[in-house]
Amino acid sequence: MKQIFRLTFLFCVVVLGKSYGQNPIIREVFTADPAPIVYNDTVFLYTSHDTASVDATNYQMKDWLVFSSTDMVNWTNHGAPLSPKSFSWATGDAYAAHCIERDGKFYWYVSTFHKKDENSGGGAAIGVAVADSPTGPFKDALGKALIVNEMTTDNEHGWDDIDPAVFIDDDGQAYLYWGNGSCKWAKLKDNMVELDGPIHHFKPKHFIEGPWVYKRKDLYYLVYASAGTQPEMIEYCTASNPEGPWTYQGIIMDNVPNSFTVHPGIVSYKGKDYFFYHNGVLPTGGSYRRSICVDYMHYNPDGTIQKVKQTQQGVMSAN
Ligand code: FUB
């Protein structure tokens, strides 16, 4: 069996001239919470940035990073175009974020924490920054938070408004999903920086945090970090409408080595489907020093998702 694997691998590398990447794909810094998009035939990967010391017992996340690739193997580091310091109302860590393009502008939705002021008593909050290019420069699009802790009351804890994910449907309607403890969602106006209607909340089976919503063929997918067992895994639901109702479908990925959390990011690129996640396997890595990986994703004919295999070799060059 081992021999067959070795021969197949050699065939791919030598005969097809394709090379594998290696997981984790980003190795020079600790990264988490992957949010990939495809723009101009390039994958842009927006990430959190873990900077906690080896013996830390909590996050230290000072900014958000951007990487890009045209082959899924070689990644260019574009630095940190955004940090909580870019938002006058923010303080504390730079939690998960998601950037999306609309009409040539890039809207980067971030979760961070709010100063105690006239707009909020503190707690997690979601802001949005805007840029004319996928790598910035980004600036606060609103001058205030889009979501503050006081706007959702279904959970008592102050960090339930994290992990924004935006989805734009075929008819142009944009939706913001987010949450820890429950999944919250609201429509966004075409300007992408104002809610268009009420905030809803629901609890998909085992939902903890990190929603990721997309459409494939006629089916909508809601993928999220779950806690059926500890540490987190990735589970998902499907629906025929981005407003639900959502049908639970099962586990996509088991928990990951050496990290309590895991966080999904999904993209189709050059004819293949990719699943981004993070783990803690780099030397000195851990739950607060995480690293982003990517592996292939496969669908069954009925649209359900096969369990993703976490590999060390990662994916092959897409070129
Ligand atoms: O990275 C900080 C938090 O950990 C994220 O907001 C969650 O999704 C989890 O990955």
Q: CB neighbours (10 Å) of residue 261? A: 24
CA geometry: angle 272, 274, 275, nearest 5 deg: 160
- In this predicted structure, the answer to whether residue 7 has a pLDDT above a threshold of 60 is no
Closest ligand 1 atom number to CA of residue 162: 6
CA geometry: angle 151, 163, 59, nearest 5 deg: 110
Average pLDDT over residues 113-118: 98
pLDDT attached to residue 18:
66
pLDDT attached to residue 20:
85
pLDDT in tens, 65-92: 999 999 999 999 999 999 999 999 999 9
pLDDT attached to residue 19:
81
Q: How far is Cα 245 from Cα 243, in angstroms, rounded to an integer? A: 7
- If we measure between CA atoms, which residue out of 255, 217, 256 comes closest to residue 238? 217
Q: 164-178 burial by CB neighbour count: b if 16+ within 10 A, else e?
A: bbbbbeeeeebbbbb
Ligand 1 center to residue 9 CA distance, Å? 35
Q: Which CATH code for domain 2-297?
A: 2.115.10.20
The finding on whether 180 has its CB within 6 A of some atom of ligand 1 is no
- In this predicted structure, the answer to whether residue 93 has a pLDDT above a threshold of 60 is yes
- In this predicted structure, the answer to whether residue 287 has a pLDDT above a threshold of 90 is yes
The finding on whether 31 has its CB within 6 A of some atom of ligand 1 is no
pLDDT averaged over the chain?
95
- In this predicted structure, the answer to whether residue 283 has a pLDDT above a threshold of 90 is yes
Q: How far is Cα 196 from Cα 159, in angstroms, rounded to an integer? A: 23
- In this predicted structure, the answer to whether residue 204 has a pLDDT above a threshold of 50 is yes
Q: Which residues contact 293 (CB under 8 A, 6 or more apart)?
A: 23, 24, 25, 276, 277, 278, 279, 310, 314
pLDDT in tens, 14-33: 445 568 889 999 999 999 99
Task: Give, for ligand 1, the residue of 163, 253, 279 to mutate: max count of ligand atoms closer than 8 Å to Cβ.
Answer: 163
pLDDT attached to residue 21:
87
The finding on whether 89 has its CB within 6 A of some atom of ligand 1 is no
Q: How confident is the model at residue 57 (pLDDT cuts 50, 70, 90)?
A: very high
Average pLDDT over residues 154-172: 97
The structural domains of the chain, with segments of one domain joined by +, span 2-297
pLDDT attached to residue 84:
98
Cβ atoms of 33 and 95 within 8 Å: the answer is yes
The model's pTM is 0.94
Name the β-bridge partners of 42.
39
Tokens at residue 229, please?
A: 């067992």
